[in-house]
Amino acid sequence: MSKYIYSNDLSQGAYFADEPRKSHGYTAAEGTDQTRVMFYNKVLLGGESIQNTTNNSLAAAPKDHHSVRGIQFQYTEYIVYRYGQALPYLKIVYKSSFLKNIAFS
């Protein structure tokens, strides 16, 4: 799941999470039926730099790394800095009650 180019606690980049609840927080209910949109993406992480503190000064992955994995929050975040590292794979349209009825493991 993703939130595209965004400035956050781990710098400016394209943010992704393997937990849909994390991405759900960045969706907005639209229209009279209050549907939301989320994308399932294929992301090439390559060599990850593991970050356990906030560092919003990164403009790119640290030297000898291709991406950043942030582990300091409730949900793990993955950040890439090059457009070619992420490919939207599926568009998911749902209502917010969708996440309440699914057991994640």
Question: What residue spans define the domains of the chain?
Answer: 2-100
11-67 pLDDT, tens digit each = 788 999 999 988 898 889 998 889 999 999 999 999 999 999 888 888 899 999 999
pLDDT in tens, 63-94: 999 999 999 888 999 999 998 999 999 999 99
pTM of the model: 0.77
Q: Could you please state the CATH topology (level 3) that the domain comprising 2-100 is classified under.
A: Phosphoenolpyruvate Carboxykinase; domain 3 (3.90.228)
What's the CA angle centered on 44, arms 43 and 47, to 5 degrees?
135
